[in-house]
Each structure stands twice: as structure tokens, then as C-alpha cells.
Amino acid sequence: MSVANMTPAEVRALIRRNELVRPTSGMANGYTQANMAILKKDLAFEFLLFCQRNPKPCPVLDVTEPGSPVPRLVAPGADLRTDLPKYRIYRHGELVEEVTDIVQYWEDDMVAFLLGCSFTFEQALMNNGIPVRHIEEECNVAMYKTNIPCVKAGRFEGPMVVSMRPIPEKDVVRAVQVTSRFPAVHGAPVHIGNPESIGIQDLHKPDFGDPVTIKEGEVPVFWACGVTPQAVAMQVKPELMITHAPGHMFITDLRDEQFGVL
Amino acid sequence: MSVANMTPAEVRALIRRNELVRPTSGMANGYTQANMAILKKDLAFEFLLFCQRNPKPCPVLDVTEPGSPVPRLVAPGADLRTDLPKYRIYRHGELVEEVTDIVQYWEDDMVAFLLGCSFTFEQALMNNGIPVRHIEEECNVAMYKTNIPCVKAGRFEGPMVVSMRPIPEKDVVRAVQVTSRFPAVHGAPVHIGNPESIGIQDLHKPDFGDPVTIKEGEVPVFWACGVTPQAVAMQVKPELMITHAPGHMFITDLRDEQFGVL
């Protein structure tokens, strides 16, 4: 059976046994994948507050009890210490290691945050016949730092990072409607059109990810990006912070459609 | 000028001078009103997590920085110590006093939570020609304890409290659509029809508020209620907790329509 058609629990079991150490795109189709950030409890309130104040870049899907690696709301049978294919360990804001499990790093006062990711709304766009360029071109989505400030919470502050997808003019309205249905995974765009209005100088030079082709008659459309909370948290230089490795997401038990508000 | 047509800042100024000590329903029409709960910082993370896990009964509109009485997101010019008409002081879960300001109770480690209230979606129902019975009958909405458990967070747990509005059969679908637009103020109903399915034995005997008339051809429709988080917090018996007095809400600078997701 292909990993595309497996259940989330089946895919996570393979990942747990280190038999599937690769990006999770295309696994357990139809199920919601999530970004992960783990912080110590002393920063957890401020980070949760930051997410609550900035729901577009930081849509919270689940937060674990301090010390528990079990995401009870979105996957009660999972263990966040082992069930992602690859993790990044940051000390004082510096990447120090990439590992395939974090059992040895786990501490009693850790809190794991699972945040919605763009895979869900990209699938919804494609289900509506709207092309997603970086998937067509098999590269990473183009991401940019903007001049849009996030709302500060305690020590957490910084600019919003956005992802850009070129959308055919005739599909722009529908793209807004479709993604508005999914506020738990970034929701509606934050900007349509002129990149300079939000502080982006050159679409061909993204700050993260890869540049993509923008065709004649296509409009750049910008969504709040899940890189934002990690970038902001990194500036605080926490003693220890653990995240998923880019593209190596956590696969939840919930279906994308369950996050549609209407 | 009538208080209905004043701006939120004008109404709050009157309230601050104790010139308007009464329920806020009908003041600053079109602007969003909020429930308030103030806790000490040591309970704030768990309570925020409880709200995040139970967004229907506990829709967070704003959370202040610890020690700050200013709700920067929803009313940066306001002071939560003085700008509500009436407050309730609870010690160890017991109501000890009702006061018109809380300046003398305010401490450096307090965090104020503003939670969405049903006024917003009731206005939306009426704008759609759907009657709201307790407003017609000039009484309090009928509220019931249910057998629907909230999702636990730390010390906070308990059953969901719901409010009930009788809706004409022909308007039930539209009532779901209209309120779904406003997830920040309780959103879509949690149940339609048979009260016993959610553990309510007698609609004529609400646990809070007043019973209302249910006419021939009307269906009881149940929404998650903002009484839930206060009831749940009270069970934890916090050393000190301050809330708005029932009906004496905080008036924000944001318009109801700004909370519509589509």
C-alpha cells in the first residue's frame, strides 16, 4: 500500500521506526499536517499568547500539557518525541543538530505547539481547479519577510513572513473564498498584488524557499506563513527549542475538511 | 445623544465616571461587547489553554500583558479597572463583593481575558429577520448545564453551559449560516432540537437566566455560552478572580462585522 493511502496512525508507526525519514508531503492524503515548536514552560504562556494574537501566521491546532508528548486533541495515540521524521534542535537560537527522534532531549517542563500548515489549503485550492505553482514545479514555496508587524506578546515580536502563490486573475476571488474556509490553517490571504505594498522588493529573491514562475495574467497572492512563529521565537534565543525539520511535518488524525468553518 | 449612538470611547468615559452603572445591552450599537475574567498569572497559561481548546464557549478576543489593564488589541485607550459598569470579586470561588471599579484590587501579576459574547451574533440573527425571544420578552437568555464535556486543560475542566434560543423551523438553516460567520463570538450552534440528547431534562427550568416561550413550530437551538469559562474557573477556586457583573460588559472599539470570517 502506498503511504498516500495509509491512515495517519500507520504512517506515524513507520516514521516512529525510522522507516520513513523524508518530507511528509503526499502522505496519508486528506489528513491535516502540522508544524511543530517545542518550548519550555516558562516561555509557553507568552508564545501561546503570541499565537492567539497572530492567528493568521500562527494557527494553533493543539498544545500539549507541560511534560506530555501526547497531542490529545489531534492525535491521542501519537508521541511527538518520535512521530515526526526529522527534528531540529536549537540552543540559544542556533541550530545545533538534526535528529530523527527527541527522546533524549525531552524534559518534564516542555510544551509542544502544533500549528496549522499550508498543505491543507493548497489541497483545497487544487480541489477547486486552482493551480499551485511550487507543487507543479516540485520545489519549496517562495517565502518573504514583510513590513507587516506581528502583534507583540511579551518577548515575542517581529515581522510576518508570508508565502506567495501566483494565481490566475480569473481565480483570485475563488482563491480568497476557498482559503477563507480554513482559518485554522492560515485562512484568507493577507495581501493580493503589488509586493512593494508589504515591503517585498523582488519576488525573484525569496527570503526562504524557492522562486517560482509567475506567468502572464497571474497575480501574486500572499498568505501568512507558518515560518513566522519559528522566526520570532528564534529571536528570543530560548535556551532550548525543538521544531520539525522543514517539510517533515506531524500528521494528525483529523481530516482537512474538519477544519472548514462552513 | 443617546448611548446607543455614542462611540465606545464616549460610553466608556461615562462608565469610568460612574455615570452609567447599568447593563450595557444597547450601548454603542454595532460595536462588539465582551465578557471579562481576570486571574493571576500563575493560572493564566492554563486558562488560556482551556480557552484555546474550547473556542466555542471561550472565544478569546484579547488577553492583556501581565500587570497591564489595557486591552491593546480591542481598545487601546481603555482601562479594564474602571471601564466596566460593574464587577464581581470572587475569593476562593466565593462571590464577596460587587464594585464599580477594581483599582484597589488590581495587582502586578494580573491577566485580563476578554471573551466574545452572544450580543454580536444575536444582532446578526435579527439583521437576518430571525427573532430572538429573550430580547422580545425583555428577559435574560435561558442557559443550561449540559453533558457535553469541555476539553480539560490543567486544573480547568467541566461541562459546557449552553444558551437556548427558539428558532422558527424555516429559519434554522439560516441561523446556522449566520452564526457560523462569527466564530469569535461562539459561532455556530452546538446542538439543534432534542434537549435530552445533550443532558437537558426540562427547558422550562434553565440553570441560569430566565425561561422563554417556545412557540408552535419552533425548534430549540443551543449555542455554547460564555458562562462556561467562569463556571469552570470558579471550580478551581482561585485565590482571587474578578469578572464583569452579568450583563455589565466591556465595550470594545471593534465593530461586530469585523469579526465575520466571510
pLDDT in tens, B60-99: 999 999 999 999 999 999 999 999 999 999 999 999 999 9
What pLDDT shows up at residue B78? Answer: 98
For residue B49, give the H/E element and its range. helix B41-53
Q: Binning pLDDT at 50, 70 and 90, where does residue A234 land?
A: confident
Q: A238: pLDDT confidence band, cut at 50, 70 and 90?
A: very high
Question: What is the per-residue pLDDT for B157?
Answer: 94
Chain B positions in Cβ-Cβ contact with residue A53 (cut-off 8 Å) = 63, 73
Measured between CB atoms, does A65 come within 8 Å of chain B?
yes
Among A44, A181, A261, the residue with its CB nearest the CB of B45 is: A44
Q: Read out DSSP for chain A?
A: --TTTS-HHHHHHHHHTTS--S--TTSSTTEEEEEEEEEEHHHHHHHHHHHHH-TTT--EEEEPPTT----TTT-TT--TTTSSS-EEEEETTEEEEEES--GGG--TTEEEEEEE-THHHHHHHHHTT---HHHHTTSPPEEEEEEEEPPPBTTB--EEEEEEEEEEGGGHHHHHHHHHT-GGGT-S-SEES-GGGGT---TTS-SBS------TTEEEEEEE-THHHHHHHHHT--S-EEEEPTT-PEEEEEEGGGG---
Q: Is B154 on the interface with A (CB under 8 A)?
A: yes
Cα separation, A192 vs A149, whole angstroms: 17
User: Which architecture, in CATH terms, is A119-229?
Assistant: 2-Layer Sandwich (3.30)
- Report, as an integer, the average pLDDT of A68-82: 97
User: Any chain A CB within 8 A of the CB of B261?
Assistant: yes
Nearest to B48 among A52, A177, A181 (CB): A52
CB nearest B52 (choices: A63, A72, A177): A63
Q: For residue B162, what are the contacts with CB-CB under 8 A and spacing of at least 6? A: B143, B144, B146, B148, B190, B191, B198, B200, B222, B223, B224, B225
Give the mutation candidate from B52, B73, B186 for the A interface (greatest A CB count, under 10 A): B52
* Per-chain mean pLDDT for chain B: 94
Q: Say if A262 is an interface residue toward chain B (CB within 8 Å).
A: yes
Q: Does domain B34-60+86-242 have CATH number 3.30.2040.10?
A: yes
pLDDT of residue B91: 95
Half-sphere exposure of residue B202: CA atoms within 13 angstroms, side-chain side: 7
The confidence band for B261, taking pLDDT boundaries of 50, 70 and 90, is confident
- Identify the closest residue of chain B to A45 by CA–CA distance: B45
Q: What is the pLDDT of residue A6?
A: 95
Nearest CA-CA distance, residue A33 and chain B, Å = 18
**pLDDT tens string A82-127:** 999 999 999 999 999 999 999 999 999 999 999 999 999 999 999 9
- Kindly list the residues from chain A whose CB atom is less than 8 angstroms away from the CB atom of residue B45: 41, 44-45, 48
The C-alpha cell at A59 is 494557527
pLDDT at position A142: 95
With a pLDDT cut of 90, the percent of chain B lying above it is: 91
The C-alpha atoms of residue A66 and residue A64 are separated, in whole angstroms, by 6
Give the whole-angstrom CA distance, residue B37 versus residue B102. 12
Please say if the pLDDT value at position B118 is more than 80.
yes
Contact B153 A65 (CB under 8 A): yes
Q: How confident is the model at residue B262 (pLDDT cuts 50, 70, 90)?
A: confident
Q: Given pLDDT bands bounded at 50, 70 and 90, which one contains residue B166?
A: very high
**What pLDDT, on a 0 to 100 scale, did the predictor assign at position B165?**
97
- Model pLDDT, residue B89: 96
- Do B191 and B143 contact (CB within 8 A), yes or no? no
Q: What is the pLDDT of residue A230?
A: 86
Q: Chain A residues with CB inside 8 Å of B48's CB?
A: 45, 48-49, 52
Determine the pLDDT at residue A189. 96
Residues 6+ apart with CB under 8 A from A181: A124, A260, A261, A262, B262
Number of inter-chain CB pairs under 8 A, A vs B: 48
Q: Report the residue from B41, B187, B261 with minimal CB separation from A180.
A: B261
Does B262 sit within 8 Å of A177, measured CB to CB?
Answer: yes
B32-52 residue pLDDT tens: 999 999 999 999 999 999 999
Rounded to whole angstroms, the Cα distance separating B246 from B248 reads 5
Give the minimum alpha-carbon distance from A56 to chain B in angstroms, rounded to a whole number: 12
Q: Can you tell me the distance from the alpha carbon of B112 to that of A254, in angstroms, rounded to the nearest whole number?
A: 32
Please check the confidence at residue A1 and state whether its pLDDT lies above 80.
no
Residue A248, pLDDT score: 94
**Percent of chain A predicted with pLDDT > 70:** 100
Interface of A with B in 91-150 (CB under 8 A): none
| Minimal Cβ distance to B49: which of A48, A154, A183 | A48
Contact list, A63 vs chain B (CB under 8 Å): 49, 52-53
Chain A residues whose CB is inside 8 A of the B72 CB are 151
**CA neighbor of A252 nearest in space, from A163, A185, A155:** A185
Please state, rounded to an integer, the average pLDDT across all residues of chain A.
Answer: 94
Name chain B contacts of A48, Cβ cutoff 8 Å. Answer: 45, 48-49, 52
pLDDT, residue B239, reads 94
Instruction: Domain ranges for chain A, please list them.
Output: 119-229
Subunit contact A181:B262, Cβ cutoff 8 A:
yes
- pLDDT confidence bin for A261, thresholds 50/70/90: confident
